[in-house]
Amino acid sequence: MARRSEHTTEELKEIAIRAGFEMMDEKGYQGFSARGVAAKMGYTVGTIYHLFGDLDTFILNVNARTLDEWYEDEVSRAPKKAEQLVRYYAHSYLAYARAHYNRWSALFEHRMQDDAPVPKWYAPKMMRMFDLIEGAVMPHVGDDPKAAARLAKLMWASVHGISTLSLQGKLDQTGAGAAERMIDDLIALAVGGKKVFVGFDKR
Amino acid sequence: MARRSEHTTEELKEIAIRAGFEMMDEKGYQGFSARGVAAKMGYTVGTIYHLFGDLDTFILNVNARTLDEWYEDEVSRAPKKAEQLVRYYAHSYLAYARAHYNRWSALFEHRMQDDAPVPKWYAPKMMRMFDLIEGAVMPHVGDDPKAAARLAKLMWASVHGISTLSLQGKLDQTGAGAAERMIDDLIALAVGGKKVFVGFDKR
DNA sequence: ACCTGAACACCGTTCAAGT
DNA sequence: ACCTGAACACCGTTCAAGT
């Protein structure tokens, strides 16, 4: 047996990605498997390899789906008032990580085998997140693009660290909202005064 | 066959942990396996289970070894001048993560299966790192212990995020020393002025 | 009591062979 | 061209049986 041809290759890829996306949510990165996804779609493992070449590429496609939905979410719910943007993005990052822990952490748990480079089409999906934050941060650094890029990455990385350690229970924090308060502290430090970061780049 | 009795149980545990520690360095968390460690020690897989009960406990023991050596390292190399401590610990964190990436990242890649709680003896090995940073941060918050604990966790998490994303190549940074500069920026924000954080807790 | 060997239920990966 | 089924080399986990 073989050759069902019930779907085009493109349709089948979409079905696989959706099934993979669901399995990531249900089982997490460590419980994710090509065989499991294949079973979920009613096909054989070989089909996954036929469609994507290798497991890395498949996982990248699943993670790309996460990044697309996440980005969409961030953009569509962003407030219009510029002065609220930094606070919004920072808290929104933590909220997303909390609400969709498995699919979010898969983004960072996945490693290319043999340290192969990430394909060119994938990297921008991660990087374009910076553009949002850069824009949000811009008014706080006197509209200096270089300072904005630099502060945006610092804040992104810091919020990421807070989210990671907090959700992994590695911060010894007591009570709900502790991580949220840390983010508030970070915002206060980074963007608390008005235009504290003019000259950020010249120190 | 069985019962070699060449070593006591304690000795065998030590041998297993050392072999596991080495394998973590060589293969990384994702390439780590009980079977591989057993082969490395010249025993069967069953022995690992006999010694530690389950794989989680074994990995925890290996990671504990990392935390012990790391802590030792931090303490022994810390500068004596109090005003250099924050800068030292922040950069030292990144330097350790960079130099021992596999064993360091294993600390954060490991998850208990079925979301079992981390055993009581393990948690403090992670948490005592905070004590160092709390002490370092203390003079910057007017010797307020609560503010120190809060700022220490914020800095720890932020430096962790910078290290994670930077070493994973997810920060789109060009040139060497970019992560180091981010840490300098963080320090400038958090601890740059003198005693900026008096009243940190009362906002 | 300590350790082995084998078994079981899973993986990722490859590929000849069917339609 | 598409997809299967089977094979291979790995896993984690358990446990009866040897010393």
Residue A199: which pLDDT band, with cuts at 50, 70 and 90?
very low
Q: In this predicted structure, what is the pLDDT of residue A197?
A: 38
Q: What is residue A199's DSSP assignment? A: T
Alpha-carbon distances of A27 from A19, A101, A102, A146, B120, rounded to whole Å: 12, 11, 8, 41, 26
Q: In this predicted structure, what is the pLDDT of residue A4?
A: 77
Q: In this predicted structure, what is the pLDDT of residue B191?
A: 87
Residue A2: which pLDDT band, with cuts at 50, 70 and 90?
low
Asked whether the beta carbons of B40 and B19 are under 8 A apart, the reply is yes
Tell me how far apart the alpha carbons of residues A154 and A190 are, in angstroms, rounded to a whole number. 9
**pLDDT (mean) for A3-20:** 93
Residues lying close to strand C (Cβ under 7 A), chosen from 9-38 of chain B, are 9, 12
Give how far the C-alpha of residue B89 lies from the chain's centroid of Cα atoms, to the nearest Å: 13
Q: Residues, chain A, total? A: 203
A202 pLDDT higher than 60: no
Alpha-carbon distances of A178 from A73, A174, B136, B153, rounded to whole Å: 24, 7, 22, 11
Q: What is residue B118's DSSP assignment? A: P
Tell me how far apart the alpha carbons of residues B197 and B141 are, in angstroms, rounded to a whole number. 5
Helices (H), B53-144: 55-77, 85-99, 101-109, 123-137
Through-space separation of residue A3 CA and nucleotide C19 C1' in angstroms: 6
Chain C bases having any atom below 7 Å from a protein CB: 1-6, 10-19
Domains of chain B, CATH where assigned: 1-53 (1.10.10), 63-203 (1.10.357.10)
Q: What is residue B201's DSSP assignment? A: T
Contacts of B190 (CB under 8 A, 6+ apart): A189, B86, B140, B151, B154, B155, B158, B197
Residue of A nearest to B153 (CA): A171
Range A174-187 burial, b when 16+ CB lie within 10 A, else e: eeeeebbebbbbbb
Q: What is the pLDDT of residues A116-173, one digit of tens each?
A: 999 999 999 999 999 999 999 999 999 999 999 999 999 999 999 999 999 999 998 8
Q: What is residue A54's DSSP assignment? A: S
Q: In this predicted structure, what is the pLDDT of residue A203?
A: 39
Per-residue pLDDT of chain B (203 residues; tens, 9 = 90+): 566 789 999 999 999 999 999 999 999 999 999 999 999 999 999 999 999 999 999 999 999 999 999 999 999 999 999 889 999 999 999 999 999 999 999 999 999 999 999 999 999 999 999 999 999 999 999 999 999 999 999 999 999 999 999 999 999 888 889 999 999 999 999 988 533 333 443 33
Identify, with chain letter, the residue nearest to nucleotide D18 (CA–C1').
Answer: B1
Closest CA to B154 of A74, A165, A194: A165
Using CA of residue A48, residue A49, residue A52, residue A55, what is the dihedral sign?
A: positive
Chain B hits for A109, Cβ within 8 Å? 109
Residues of B with CB under 8 A from a CB of A: 28, 30, 108-109, 111, 118, 123, 126-127, 130, 150-151, 153-154, 156-162, 164-166, 168-173, 182, 185-186, 188-190, 200, 203
Q: What is the pLDDT of residues A22-40, one digit of tens each?
A: 999 999 999 999 999 999 9
Q: In this predicted structure, what is the pLDDT of residue B52?
A: 98
Tell me how far apart the alpha carbons of residues B67 and B71 are, in angstroms, rounded to a whole number. 6
Contacts of B66 (CB under 8 A, 6+ apart): B21, B24, B100, B103, B104, B106, B107
Min Cα distance A190 → chain B (Å) is 6
